[in-house]
């Protein structure tokens, strides 16, 4: 269905068009008419299905621009989601001049109080900070007509249910409630029964994860070493088209600048970019002119790009469903893909939550050493040289080559050639500022060794005694990488579809140095 069929006003339709969308997602198609009609909605949908626009567009339409009080309250489990939601609603409501503000813990409350004096009509916040403002009387909810509980099961897991119930007691009895949750445990249904009036049920089937087509790895790494570990993985895995996810806009900017400084063909997208810049970057990525795209979850929503070979989660997502949405960008249309997630030691509970949802054990991956990364770069350079040597336009250089051979040995010339093609990370140090640690998460009662998980390939990612692994390198049979991501172990105990192609048969282009 097209957005133009949903009785949205022209300014919102223009905002949707500027964002590059014309067709609704299933949750948008079902939810928007219900919200416009004034119904309470109980929606079961995963992250990445477009639910922010599903509740955002109709609530933006219902804002009374002559009323300078808070009219819609959106409660989010985390500061990251609160900020992302605020940005998306601001973008969609810009033409209408709707004021949207976010309040969350960990930020200067005095600054938030001053911003609240600008009279936002939509307020997005985390439960604890909202209660703080309510108790200070800096947030008044007497004029609220719509309450949105976003990712309610996540708030349940984080112990926020009592806070939510307390917040809802400050909202007028006559209001519309929209509750969205990936799952519907009993406690969530109790909230629906207590605070909602005959809600309409919207249930969107989860997007199935094609785990058989995606090699899923994780790398334990601390923040200070992660960037170098990731770029060394690039050197040994030789990815062709890459999506890298960062948790914040600052992270995306720093990763993009760091990759560019190291000579990688990279750009980043996030909510602060102009629409023109965002579309330009995406066009380059789709056309293969750009090899590495760094993005936040929000900026990457709605992207439909084929041919992505590798997804790197520089920051593990707080929401397991976001993981499914992220890595679903690879392994499409029967093609194979690789997903690598970096995990700090104190974030292992988030990894366990991902494994619970996907019912797949991620394979631990040993970080490559600098020596192994150098070998990967040299192998890639050798492949590039071999390809260039096959061309017949070298005649004009043969005379100059002969003169060089009279001055230098072939070994010296080959070494100089390789040195010009290989990047030395030590020559370009990159510092990525640490992000705020994720909040502690309740550990599932299901053990990591049980619960029906299937490891997505035994033994992959480990170094053999001889430093090599069986199987062919994609597109270059002589690369001796030990670090997964470019072949599968078909001796694995996990049975695979007999008709499935080996990912080692898939060719990857060699990354070219854009500065060469």
pLDDT, tens digit (0-9, with 9 covering 90-100), for 114-131 = 999 999 999 999 999 999
For 178, list phi and psi in degrees, rounded to 5.
-120, 120
pTM above 0.75, yes or no: no
- Fold of the domain spanning 211-370+427-505: Rossmann fold (3.40.50)
Q: Do domains 3-203 and 211-370+427-505 have the same CATH topology?
A: yes
Distance CA 32, CA 53 (A): 9
Q: What is the pLDDT of residues 381-403, one digit of tens each?
A: 888 888 888 876 788 888 898 88
Name which of 69-78, 269-278, 304-313, 444-453 the model is least confident about.
444-453
Contact 489, 457 (CB under 8 A): yes
User: Residue 21: which pLDDT band, with cuts at 50, 70 and 90?
Assistant: confident
Residue 204: predicted pLDDT: 80
How many alpha carbons lie under 13 Å from residue 179 in its C-beta half-sphere? Answer: 31
- Judged on CB neighbours under 10 Å (0-12, 13-18, 19+), 411 is exposed
pLDDT at 474: 34
**What is the rounded CA–CA span in Å between residue 124 and residue 294?**
26
Residue pair 47/84 in contact by the 8 Å Cβ criterion? no
Helix (H, G, I), strand (E, B) or coil at 402: helix
Name, in order, each residue with C-beta under 8 angstroms of 353's C-beta and a sequence gap of 6 or more: 320, 441, 444
Angle, to 10 degrees, between the axis of helix 320-327 and the axis of helix 348-358?
A: 70
Average per-residue pLDDT for the chain: 81
Widest pairwise Cα distance in the chain: 91
Determine contact, residues 196/41, Cβ cutoff 8 Å: no
Q: Rounded to whole angstroms, how far apart are CA atoms 242 and 32?
A: 34
Angle at 447 between CA 442 and CA 452, to 5 degrees: 120
The CA distance from 79 to 112, in Å, is 13
What CA–CA distance (Å, rounded) separates 182 from 321? Answer: 8
| Residue 28 or 484, more confident | 28
The span from the CA of 265 to the CA of 96, in Å, is 38
Domain 3-203 has CATH 3.40.50.300: yes
216: pLDDT strictly greater than 70: yes
Q: Answer positive or negative: Cα dihedral of 356, 42, 173, 32.
A: positive
What value does the mean pLDDT take over residues 332-345? 87
> CA 419 to CA 304: how far, in whole Å?
38
Q: Among 32-41, 191-200, 283-292, 430-439, which range has the highest average pLDDT?
A: 32-41
Residue 180 contacts residue 150 (beta carbons within 8 Å): yes
Domain range list for the chain: 3-203, 211-370+427-505
More confident residue, 504 or 323: 323
Burial class (CB in 10 A: 0-12, 13-18, 19+), 134: middle
Q: In the structure, what pLDDT confidence band is assigned to residue 1 with cuts at 50, 70 and 90? A: confident
DSSP H or E stretch at residue 167: helix 161-168
Nearest-CA neighbor of 59 among 25, 78, 84, 86?
Answer: 86
- What pLDDT is stored for residue 478 in this prediction? 37
Residue 512 is predicted with a pLDDT of 36
User: Can you give the pLDDT at residue 464?
Assistant: 32
Cα dihedral 235→240→244→250 (10° resolution): 80
Cα separation, 5 vs 394, in Å, equals 60
What are φ and ψ of residue 443, in 5° steps?
Answer: -85, 135
Computed on alpha carbons and rounded to an integer, the radius of gyration of the chain in Å comes to 26
Single out the residue of 46, 297, 319 nearest to residue 157, CA to CA: 319
């Amino acid at each position: 269905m097209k957005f133009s069929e949903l009785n949205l006003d022209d300014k919102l339709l223009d905002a949707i068009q500027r964002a590059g969308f014309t067709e609704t997602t299933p949750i948008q198609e079902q939810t928007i008419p219900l919200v416009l009609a004034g119904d309470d909605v109980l929606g079961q949908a995963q992250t990445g299905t477009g639910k922010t626009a599903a509740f955002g567009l109709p609530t933006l339409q219902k804002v009374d621009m002559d009323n300078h009080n808070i009219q819609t309250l959106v409660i989010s489990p985390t500061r990251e989601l609160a900020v992302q939601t605020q940005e998306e609603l601001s973008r969609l409501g810009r033409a209408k001049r709707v004021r949207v503000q976010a309040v969350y813990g960990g930020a200067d409350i005095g600054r938030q109080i001053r911003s609240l004096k600008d009279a936002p009509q939509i307020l997005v916040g985390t439960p604890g900070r909202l209660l703080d403002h309510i108790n200070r009387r800096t947030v008044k909810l007497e004029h609220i007509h719509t309450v949105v509980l976003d990712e309610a099961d996540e708030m349940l897991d984080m112990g926020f249910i009592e806070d939510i119930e307390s917040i809802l007691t400050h909202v007028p009895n006559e209001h519309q409630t929209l509750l969205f949750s990936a799952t519907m445990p009993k406690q969530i249904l109790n909230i629906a029964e207590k605070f909602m009036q005959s809600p309409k049920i919207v249930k969107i089937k989860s997007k199935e994860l094609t785990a058989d087509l995606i090699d899923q790895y994780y790398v334990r790494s601390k923040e200070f070493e992660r960037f170098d570990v990731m770029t060394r993985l690039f050197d040994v895995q030789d990815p062709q088209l890459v999506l890298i996810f960062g948790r914040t806009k600052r992270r995306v900017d720093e990763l993009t600048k760091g990759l560019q400084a190291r000579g990688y063909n990279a750009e980043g997208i996030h909510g602060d970019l102009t629409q023109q810049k965002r579309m330009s970057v995406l066009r380059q990525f789709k056309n293969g002119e750009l090899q590495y795209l760094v993005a936040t979850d929000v900026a990457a929503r709605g992207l439909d790009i084929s041919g992505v070979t590798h997804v790197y989660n520089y920051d593990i997502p707080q929401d397991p469903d976001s993981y499914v949405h992220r890595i679903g960008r690879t392994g499409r249309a029967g093609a194979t893909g690789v997903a690598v997630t970096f995990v700090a030691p104190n974030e292992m509970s988030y990894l366990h939550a991902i494994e619970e949802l996907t019912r797949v054990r991620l394979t631990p991956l040993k970080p490559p050493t600098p020596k192994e990364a150098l070998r990967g770069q040299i192998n890639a350079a050798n492949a590039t040289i071999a390809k260039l040597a096959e061309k017949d336009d070298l005649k004009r250089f043969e005379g100059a080559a002969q003169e060089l051979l009279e001055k230098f040995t072939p070994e010296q010339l080959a070494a100089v050639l390789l040195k010009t093609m290989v990047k030395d990370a030590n020559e370009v140090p990159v510092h990525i500022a640490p992000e705020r640690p994720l909040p502690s998460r309740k550990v599932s009662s299901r053990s990591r060794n049980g619960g029906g998980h299937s490891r997505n390939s035994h033994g992959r990612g480990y170094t053999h005694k001889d430093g090599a692994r069986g199987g062919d390198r994609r597109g270059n049979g002589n690369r001796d990488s030990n670090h997964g991501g470019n072949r599968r172990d078909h001796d694995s105990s996990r049975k695979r579809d007999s008709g499935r192609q080996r990912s080692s048969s898939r060719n990857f282009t060699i990354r070219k140095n854009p500065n060469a």
